[in-house]
Copies of this chain bind each other. A is one copy, B any other.
Amino acid sequence: MDRHQAKPAPGRPRSQQAMEAVLTAVRQLLETSAYKQITMEGIAKAAGVGKPTLYRWWPNVASIVMDAMTKQARQDIGVPDTGSLESDLHLYIGDTCRSLTQGAGSIMRSLMAEAQFDDGFAQIFRESFICSRRETLIALLKRSAARGELPKDADLELLTDLCYGPIWYRLLNGHAPLDEPFVQAITAHIMRG
């Protein structure tokens, strides 16, 4: 249900320009600094924006960074549809891992870490990132199940955990790379399930 024909809010509307300046500034900061060194104060200064404006739109650094990430590239990882579960999975997991090894990974680690400390952010982070990716994968699996490649009673949620779990585990611990053999191994492991 939308606010069909809703009155525009009274008062000066929020400045799209300011918002974009902030997101751009954050992206630049992320390229030159570690996530932990990014502060509200620094963002405000870099974006030429007042601190209250920042706080009016976002509650903390993590939310801004997340916005900058999601608005930047929503289409990084497409949903493959080759007709075969195995190749679909292989492509999807491969894209996911490649994306995470190319710079986004470090930020995602920081956001995941931040989510452990702030319940409010955790909720948004999980809804925006984790769940949306999970649902994409689940849709892929469902399609495959409809083709009969999976047993009808397969627990798709669980399969998703088995897929993303090891990826995040390696990403967060850095004890082993997210490379092609790893992608193949996960794919094979899920195919056996």
Using a CB–CB cutoff of 8 Å, the interface residues on chain A facing chain B are: 34-36, 109-110, 112-118, 122, 126, 130-131, 134, 155, 157-158, 161-162, 164-170, 172-176, 182, 185-186, 189, 192-193
Nearest neighbor of A36 in chain B, beta-carbon distance: B117
A185 to B193, CA, bound (A): 10
Shortest Cβ gap from A99 to chain B (Å):
17
Chain B residues within an 8 Å CB radius of A118: 36
Main secondary structure of the interface of A (DSSP, over half): helix
Shortest Cβ gap from A127 to chain B (Å):
10
Beyond A112-B113, A117-B110, A158-B182, is A169–B170 a contact (Cβ under 8 Å)? no
Which of A158, A161, A162 counts the most chain B CB atoms within 10 A? Answer: A161
| Complex copy number for this chain | 4
Which of A36, A109, A113, A170 counts the most chain B CB atoms within 10 A? Answer: A113
Chain B residues within an 8 Å CB radius of A162: 162, 165-166, 185-186, 189
Chain B residues within an 8 Å CB radius of A36: 117-118
For this complex, 5 residue pairs linking A to B, each with C-beta atoms less than 8 Å apart, are: A109-B116, A161-B169, A162-B166, A172-B172, A189-B192
> Out of B115, B131, B176, which one reaches A157, CB within 8 Å?
B176
Shortest Cβ gap from A85 to chain B (Å):
16
Beyond A158-B182, A165-B166, A185-B158, is A172–B117 a contact (Cβ under 8 Å)? no
Nearest neighbor of A168 in chain B, beta-carbon distance: B169
Inter-chain contact B131/A175, CB cutoff 8 Å: yes
Chain B residues within an 8 Å CB radius of A169: 161, 164-165, 168-169
> Out of B35, B131, B167, which one reaches A165, CB within 8 Å?
B167
Given contacts A112-B113, A126-B173, A130-B173, 14 further A-B contacts (CB under 8 A): A34-B117, A110-B116, A110-B117, A112-B172, A161-B170, A162-B186, A162-B189, A164-B169, A165-B167, A165-B168, A165-B170, A169-B169, A189-B189, A189-B193
